[in-house]
């Protein structure tokens, strides 16, 4: 199977069309990437939002300054660093843990 594990055959991670090498560097510096879709073979698709802990803290602090006591983003996953490799590893583990069974799909 050319190095692909069995789980990766059950889903596809779709990065935004504009996610090129330059944008990968920008995303890593910004600390977040939305508009990532995880699509399963049955056609079920989940929009995902990936963020690193530094950006999460900054965004939460901004919410507090705006008078909110919370931060919520649909289907948010916190990563150590937002890279394609870390996104792939996280999605693979989330699939194996049944995470997507608990989410609302598109």
Q: What is the pLDDT of residue 103?
A: 80
- Distance, in Å, from the CA atom of 71 to the CA atom of 92, rounded to the nearest integer, reads 25
**Per-position b or e across 68-105, b if 16+ CB within 10 A of its CB:** eeeeeeebebebeebbeebbeebbeebbeeebbeeeee
User: Which position has the higher pLDDT, 6 or 58?
Assistant: 58
Q: What is the pLDDT of residue 46?
A: 94
Q: Are 45 and 37 in contact (CB under 8 A)?
A: yes
Record the pTM.
0.86
- Distance, in Å, from the CA atom of 44 to the CA atom of 33, rounded to the nearest integer, reads 21
Give pLDDT tens digits for 9-55: 689 999 999 999 999 999 999 999 999 999 999 999 999 999 999 99
């Amino acid at each position: 199977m050319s190095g692909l594990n069995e789980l990766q055959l059950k889903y596809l991670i779709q990065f935004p069309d504009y996610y090129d090498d330059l944008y990968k560097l920008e995303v890593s510096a910004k600390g977040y990437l939305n508009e990532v879709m995880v699509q399963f073979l049955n056609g079920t698709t989940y929009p995902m939002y990936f963020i690193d802990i530094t950006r999460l803290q900054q965004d939460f602090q901004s919410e507090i300054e705006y008078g909110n006591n919370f931060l919520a983003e649909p289907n948010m996953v916190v990563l150590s660093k937002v890279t394609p490799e870390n996104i792939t590893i996280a999605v693979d583990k989330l699939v194996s843990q049944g995470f997507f069974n608990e989410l609302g799909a598109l």
